[in-house]
């Protein structure tokens, strides 16, 4: 590892996501760049990210705490786990490199909470369902849904404890009705490639139940834009991380879910915060 400037350090693989030519602001990595397998997520009472030497295989993303995320029904967030000044997302495929980077990047302030996360190449969560299917994928979708015109974005980070035992005790067919997708291959219960919210059974019931997660969270139902969900599993559930151009995309979706999403019967949010992810200048 060689000494590098703060900009190089934070940029990591920042060649991807350049806004313009040399000297112009750069979008942070760890958002549009492919999701790496391991993550160290932390929230601090701090203002700035310190300089440190970290492996170039690691992606560092940081943000500053913002207001505007309300408390949602059912949240169980202790005051010390609510909000925070600085968000640090350190990702890499090599867990040792992530651990090493996390030990070097110590912001000057109090640590509020930290969680180690991981994902697998199939992107299955701890409930056994595939995640990350309906998200922005093309540069055009990223430009419309994720990046603000100046190259910044907003992150929402919520640690969600999941009752894996209660969920997996249900028959698989009931688990599938909670999500609205099949467990073994993630095909929507309505069939085909895309979720069809209008599909009905011969009895006139919705094929994708009224309280299914993919219905409640669907941009059409939620009246919201499409967020980039880039979550990680942790030992007790999901570190939900979303990036979106406007905070209201998350807020509207979460309100719609709180209004009757079957998945929330198995989830308890224990940390919650929103951050502005600035460009690297
Ligand atoms: C409790 C933890 C959660 C789990 C385990 C979870 C898991 C999933 C899964 C498996 C899917 C279907 C596959 C896919 O489209 O990627 C999905 C879809 C989705 N989830 Fe979640 N999710 C959780 C919480 C949330 C939260 C808090 C939000 C935002 C408020 C959210 C927003 C979405 C959206 C927008 C979709 C796509 C819906 C569609 O258009 O089909 N999820 N989630």
Give residue 5's pLDDT.
36
Ligand 1 pocket test target in 184, 229, 244 with most atoms within 8 Å of CB: 229
Ligand 1 pocket test target in 214, 221, 233 with most atoms within 8 Å of CB: 214
For ligand 1, whether the C-beta of 256 sits within 6 Å is: no
Give, using CA atoms, the residue closest to atom 41 of ligand 1: 214
Give residue 3's pLDDT.
32
Give residue 198's pLDDT.
96
* Closest ligand 1 atom to 127 CA: 5
Determine the distance separating the centroid of ligand 1 and the alpha carbon of 6, expressed in angstroms: 34
Please determine, for residue 104, whether its predicted confidence score (pLDDT) is greater than 60. yes
DSSP the chain: -----HHHHHHSSTTTTB-SSTTS-B--SSSSSPPPSEEEEEEEE-SSPPP----TT-EEEEEEE-S-----TT----GGGB--SEEEEEEESSHHHHHHHHHH---SSEEEEEEEEE--TT-B-TTS-B---SS--SHHHHHHHT--TTS-EEEEEEEEEE-HHHHHTS-HHHHHHHHTB-TTT--BTT-SSS--TT-B-TTS-BSS-TT-HHHHTSHHHHT----EE--EEETTEEEEEEEESSHHHHHHHHHHHHTT-GGGGGEEEEEEEEEEEPPB-
Give residue 241's pLDDT.
98
Radius of gyration of the chain from its Cα atoms, rounded to whole angstroms: 19
Percentage of the chain lying above the pLDDT 90 cut: 87
Give residue 130's pLDDT.
97
Please determine, for residue 280, whether its predicted confidence score (pLDDT) is greater than 90. yes
Please determine, for residue 240, whether its predicted confidence score (pLDDT) is greater than 60. yes
pLDDT tens per residue across span 256-276: 999 999 999 999 999 999 999
Please determine, for residue 178, whether its predicted confidence score (pLDDT) is greater than 50. yes
Determine the distance separating the centroid of ligand 1 and the alpha carbon of 143, expressed in angstroms: 21
Please determine, for residue 1, whether its predicted confidence score (pLDDT) is greater than 70. no
Cβ pair 52, 108 in contact under 8 A: no
Please determine, for residue 279, whether its predicted confidence score (pLDDT) is greater than 80. yes
Please determine, for residue 154, whether its predicted confidence score (pLDDT) is greater than 80. yes
Give residue 146's pLDDT.
98
Give residue 265's pLDDT.
98
For ligand 1, whether the C-beta of 232 sits within 6 Å is: no
Cβ pair 238, 39 in contact under 8 A: no
Phi and psi angles of residue 207, each rounded to the nearest 5 degrees, phi first: -65, -40
Give residue 24's pLDDT.
73
Give residue 204's pLDDT.
94
CA distance 228 to 230: 6
pLDDT tens per residue across span 223-233: 899 999 999 99
Cβ pair 16, 53 in contact under 8 A: no
Determine the distance separating the centroid of ligand 1 and the alpha carbon of 179, expressed in angstroms: 8
Q: What is the pTM of this model?
A: 0.92
Percentage of the chain lying above the pLDDT 70 cut: 92
For the chain, first and last CA: distance in Å? 23
The residue with greater pLDDT, 199 or 17, is 199
Give residue 23's pLDDT.
64
Q: Where are the domains of the chain?
A: 6-277
pLDDT tens per residue across span 4-60: 334 434 433 333 334 445 567 899 999 999 999 999 999 999 999 988 999 999 999
Ligand 1 pocket test target in 167, 217, 225 with most atoms within 8 Å of CB: 217
Binned at pLDDT 50, 70 and 90, residue 81 comes out as: very high
Please determine, for residue 184, whether its predicted confidence score (pLDDT) is greater than 50. yes
For ligand 1, whether the C-beta of 230 sits within 6 Å is: no
Determine the distance separating the centroid of ligand 1 and the alpha carbon of 261, expressed in angstroms: 10
Give residue 22's pLDDT.
55
Can you tell me the mean pLDDT for 247-262?
A: 97
């Amino acid at each position: 590892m060689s000494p590098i400037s703060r900009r190089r350090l934070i940029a990591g693989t920042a060649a991807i996501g350049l806004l313009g030519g040399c000297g112009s602001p750069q979008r942070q990595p760890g958002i549009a760049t492919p999701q790496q397998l391991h993550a160290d997520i932390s929230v601090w009472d701090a203002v700035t990210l310190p300089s440190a030497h970290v492996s170039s295989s690691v992606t560092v993303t940081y943000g500053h705490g913002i207001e505007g995320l309300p408390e949602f029904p059912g949240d169980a967030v202790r005051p010390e786990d609510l909000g925070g000044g600085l968000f640090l997302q350190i990702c890499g495929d090599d867990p040792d490199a992530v651990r090493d980077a996390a030990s070097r990047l110590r912001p000057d302030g109090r640590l509020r909470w930290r969680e180690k996360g991981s994902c697998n190449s199939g992107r299955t969560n701890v409930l056994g369902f595939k995640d990350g299917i309906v998200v922005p994928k093309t540069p055009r979708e990223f430009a419309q849904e994720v990046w603000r015109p100046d190259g910044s974005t907003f992150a929402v980070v919520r640690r969600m404890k999941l009752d894996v035992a209660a969920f997996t005790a249900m028959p698989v067919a009931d688990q599938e009705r909670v999500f609205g997708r099949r467990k073994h291959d993630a095909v929507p219960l309505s069939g085909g490639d895309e979720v069809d919210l209008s599909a009905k059974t011969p009895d006139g019931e919705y094929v994708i139940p009224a309280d299914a997660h993919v219905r409640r969270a669907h941009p059409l139902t939620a009246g919201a834009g499409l967020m980039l969900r880039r979550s990680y599993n942790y030992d007790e559930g999901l570190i939900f991380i979303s990036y979106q151009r406007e905070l209201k995309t998350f807020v509207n979706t979460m309100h719609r879910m709180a209004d009757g999403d079957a998945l929330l019967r198995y989830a308890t949010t224990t940390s919650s915060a929103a951050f502005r992810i600035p460009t690297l200048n």
